[in-house]
Chains A and B, each alone.
Chain A
Amino acid sequence: MPQNETIAGLGLDEYKYGFVTEDQPVFKTVPGLSSDIVRQISHHKEEPQWMLDFRLKALDVYYSKPMPKWGGDLSKLEDTLDEIYFYLKPQDQMERSWDDVPQEIKDTFEKLGIPEAERKALAGVGAQYESEMVYHSLKEQWEEQGVIFESIEDGLAKHPELFRQYFSTVVPTHDNKFAALNSAVWSGGSFVYIPKGVKVEIPLQAYFRVNAERMGQFERTLIICEEGAEAHYIEGCTAPVYSTDSFHSGVIEIVVKKGARFRYTTIQNWSNNMYNLVTQRALVHEDAKMEWLDGNLGSKLTMKYPSCFLVGERAHGEILSIAYAGDGQHQDTGGKVIHAAPNTTSQITSKSISKGLGRSSYRGLCKVYDGAEGAKSNVECDALLLDEQSRTDTYPYIEIDENTASIGHEATVSKVGDEQLFYLMSRGLDEAEAMAMIVRGFIEPVAKELPLEYAIELNRLIELEMEGSVG
């Protein structure tokens, strides 16, 4: 059982959900991007003029910004963008009840192994299939509480004032090239509004899946959590395997008002040819608490740094992330915390796993503005290497303009040891099982924060990635 044999046999990188469901899109744009495409999208969605104007302006911003030179390798991305479809709508109306959901889509859920509970019983399941919501239900009690959980399109149509008041205020168009792109062509995503003081007990869940070759996914989510409200939003997705490069670039904006608490959980498992460039940011007000819980598996390149802008006194931001980089994958993930008010606190915990030619990078920014007295931030990032070739690097950026701030940073790199493997194997676990157990243990501090069924699902995903390849 020499080390290299141990590792080579594991084959963690085969994408296990590589099946395709036949679909019949109602409307599909031609490949590539242009202002015509943007007009078509807006027209098709029957949007108000201001949104069309917003999109067109964003398109200009997108064109004017250069490709980022940092993070991962984006050199082949321009070609990809010429080939993908920027909009695709599978059905022309929203489904209201589970019975109305087409069998084909149910089959997809079935193949994904989404537990029945997640499929329908859990209230508020909004599942995004292709670019739009196809299934959306909301438990009655929430409606009574005034909670809004809609597709982003319905959010705009039914709550235009509320929507316009917050849309693009957390992630402005010019924030970065991909935020601009998303602003121009966004489609699908959720609109969530939790009224003042309302505590939503059951997590709001959206399970979605990209399912058309060369289709870009530009989901846009806007969440407003009013004063003293509490909620947990969960999103998970898997994508099928295709030969051409695919692209996903979402924007998530969250406003957490005074004294509110919000948690946003994502588990993403993209196919190995996917570029995944997401901007997710929360504006956290006085005494409010925001938590990002982020799991990234698969993809060719993921660049994702959930952020908390702590703008009110005593605001607290927390970012917990897990990244798994298999052969040929680059996970460039981390978090950003901006302390812009006194006594704000933050914690970033990042766990990454790299295997073979996989590479994981932690990239984090902690900024403390002058006047954010007593701000406290702590960063902990741990990397686990499964073999000799895999690599990991850490890019912590710390900018502090306030001398009463206290910042901690701790980084560890460990390798799955022969002694650990031997120990587990000497108790009867075969090599693959032993390796999977060590990896599960490594991510446990983050996984235990997940609702049970998601923790199980995450472990199952990792097991699927690791299974069946040791001779």
Chain B
Amino acid sequence: MSEPLLSIRGLRAKVEGEDGEILRGVDLDLERGEVHALMGPNGSGKSTLAKVIAGHPAYEVTAGEILFEGEDVLELEPDERSRAGIFLAFQYPAEIPGVSIANFLRTAVNSRLGEGEEMDVFGFQRTLTEKMEMLKMDPGFATRYVNDGFSGGEKKRNEILQMAVLRPALGVLDETDSGLDIDALKIVARGVNRLSEADEALGVLLITHYKRILNYIQPNVVHVMMAGRIAESGGASLADKLEAEGYDWLQQAAAAV
């Protein structure tokens, strides 16, 4: 298996039914076991890229390809991509009133097991409890309705809990760090690191605004997205430079081209 875990080639996308392109030729390779940070100013297209990877129906891919484990996923429905091993931790998770986290997650787990192979309630409960302990979550959390009335921090933690239970091959984390205080950030970062330790092949695309989380999750590569393209890629030190100098130098470089 020599192909990258995720390989994006010349990806262009726009909102279905509208004109302006949001993604204007994205190229990105992410190997198994790697953590890539994706930074960039507001509105540069980071969340759009994340949602296009997961198959959001609001976007139309006009050119390029997304290969996951060597397979083209563009024709797959979001649930098929999920079952294939792609996970998106949402920047703004949807609220599902009346559906408990436990019920939702058990259904999600069982959706990837064959008929008759489903996890029983008790087995599932054990897994869930264990993951919740890892993320220092109150046991009562499992009975709460999915994201309904959650604080920003609770929503983010809930996303990582789901990733921990579903064990994807690729986690795309869209600003999971924003809105977290430092303690919560450490807990979430440690949770992600534990998942990486447990599964050395786990790939992570970590979308963030701030260098802060990169102090706790070491990236192999840092990319900067500008106006729908990867404008710059580099090592962890690129994040330091962005922290110190902002994005202006990249904007000027881009304008000079």
Question: B166: CB under 8 A from chain A?
Answer: yes
Question: A454: CB under 8 A from chain B?
Answer: no
- Nearest opposing residue in chain A for B108, CB measure: A427
Q: Are B98 and A428 in contact (CB under 8 A)?
A: no
Question: B30: CB under 8 A from chain A?
Answer: no
Task: Return the contact of A429 from the options B57, B58, B111 (Cβ within 8 A).
Answer: B111
A17 to chain B, nearest CB (A): 24
Q: Are A433 and B107 in contact (CB under 8 A)?
A: yes
Question: 1/0 per residue B86-126: CB within 8 Å of A?
Answer: 01101001111111000011011001100000000000000
**Which of A8-16, A120-128, A283-291, A434-442 makes up part of the contact surface?**
A434-442
- Nearest opposing residue in chain A for B162, CB measure: A427
Q: Are B145 and A423 in contact (CB under 8 A)?
A: no
Question: A426: CB under 8 A from chain B?
Answer: yes
- Nearest opposing residue in chain B for A1, CB measure: B57
Given A429-B111, A430-B111, verify A441-B98 contact (CB < 8 Å): yes
Contacts of B82 in A (CB 8 A): 425-428
B54 to chain A, nearest CB (A): 5
Q: Are B99 and A440 in contact (CB under 8 A)?
A: yes
Q: Are B112 and A440 in contact (CB under 8 A)?
A: no
Question: A407: CB under 8 A from chain B?
Answer: no
Task: Return the contact of A426 from the options B78, B96, B97, B146 (Cβ within 8 A).
Answer: B78
Question: A92: CB under 8 A from chain B?
Answer: no
B113 to chain A, nearest CB (A): 10
Which positions 30-76 of chain B face chain A at CB distance < 8 Å? 54-58
Bound CA span A250–B94, Å: 42
Contacts of B146 in A (CB 8 A): 441
Question: A422: CB under 8 A from chain B?
Answer: yes
Question: B77: CB under 8 A from chain A?
Answer: yes
Q: Are A441 and B97 in contact (CB under 8 A)?
A: yes
Contacts of B94 in A (CB 8 A): 417, 419-420, 422-423
Task: Return the contact of A427 from the options B16, B55, B56, B104 (Cβ within 8 A).
Answer: B104
Given A418-B58, A425-B78, A426-B88, verify A445-B98 contact (CB < 8 Å): yes
Contacts of A1 in B (CB 8 A): 57, 77-78
Q: Are B96 and A437 in contact (CB under 8 A)?
A: yes
Bound CA span A444–B81, Å: 29
Contacts of B78 in A (CB 8 A): 1, 422, 425-426
Which positions 401-433 of chain A face chain B at CB distance < 8 Å? 417-420, 422-431, 433
Q: Are B56 and A428 in contact (CB under 8 A)?
A: no
B238 to chain A, nearest CB (A): 29
Contacts of A433 in B (CB 8 A): 107, 111
Contacts of B145 in A (CB 8 A): 441, 444
Q: Are B111 and A422 in contact (CB under 8 A)?
A: no
Question: B240: CB under 8 A from chain A?
Answer: no
Contacts of A429 in B (CB 8 A): 79, 107-108, 111
Question: A2: CB under 8 A from chain B?
Answer: yes
Question: A206: CB under 8 A from chain B?
Answer: no
A431 to chain B, nearest CB (A): 7
Contacts of B98 in A (CB 8 A): 440-445
Question: B9: CB under 8 A from chain A?
Answer: no
Main secondary structure on A side of the interface with B: helix
Question: B144: CB under 8 A from chain A?
Answer: no
Q: Are B57 and A428 in contact (CB under 8 A)?
A: no
B57 to chain A, nearest CB (A): 4
Contacts of A423 in B (CB 8 A): 90, 93-94, 96
A65 to chain B, nearest CB (A): 41
Given A1-B57, A2-B57, A437-B104, verify A425-B96 contact (CB < 8 Å): no
Contacts of B162 in A (CB 8 A): 427
Bound CA span A424–B81, Å: 12
Bound CA span A418–B16, Å: 13
Question: 1/0 per residue B168-197: CB within 8 Å of A?
Answer: 000000000000000000000000000000
A229 to chain B, nearest CB (A): 33
Bound CA span A290–B55, Å: 50
Bound CA span A429–B90, Å: 16
Bound CA span A364–B129, Å: 44
Given A1-B57, A2-B57, A443-B98, verify A427-B166 contact (CB < 8 Å): yes
A380 to chain B, nearest CB (A): 13
Task: Return the contact of A428 from the options B95, B99, B108 (Cβ within 8 A).
Answer: B108
Question: B131: CB under 8 A from chain A?
Answer: no
Bound CA span A206–B95, Å: 38
Contacts of B105 in A (CB 8 A): 427
Question: B83: CB under 8 A from chain A?
Answer: yes
Bound CA span A95–B54, Å: 60
List 19 interface pairs A-B (beta carbons < 8 Å), by A numbering.
A1-B77, A2-B16, A423-B90, A425-B77, A425-B79, A426-B55, A426-B78, A426-B82, A426-B87, A426-B88, A427-B79, A427-B105, A427-B111, A428-B111, A437-B104, A440-B98, A441-B97, A442-B98, A444-B97
Chain A interface (Cβ within 8 Å of chain B)?
1-2, 417-420, 422-431, 433-434, 437-438, 440-445
Q: Which 8 A-B pairs have the closest CB atoms?
A: A441-B98, A444-B98, A441-B99, A423-B94, A428-B111, A425-B78, A427-B108, A1-B57
Q: A426-B82, A428-B82, A441-B98 are in contact. List 10 more A-B contacts (CB 8 A).
A: A419-B94, A420-B95, A423-B90, A423-B94, A423-B96, A429-B107, A441-B145, A441-B146, A443-B98, A444-B145
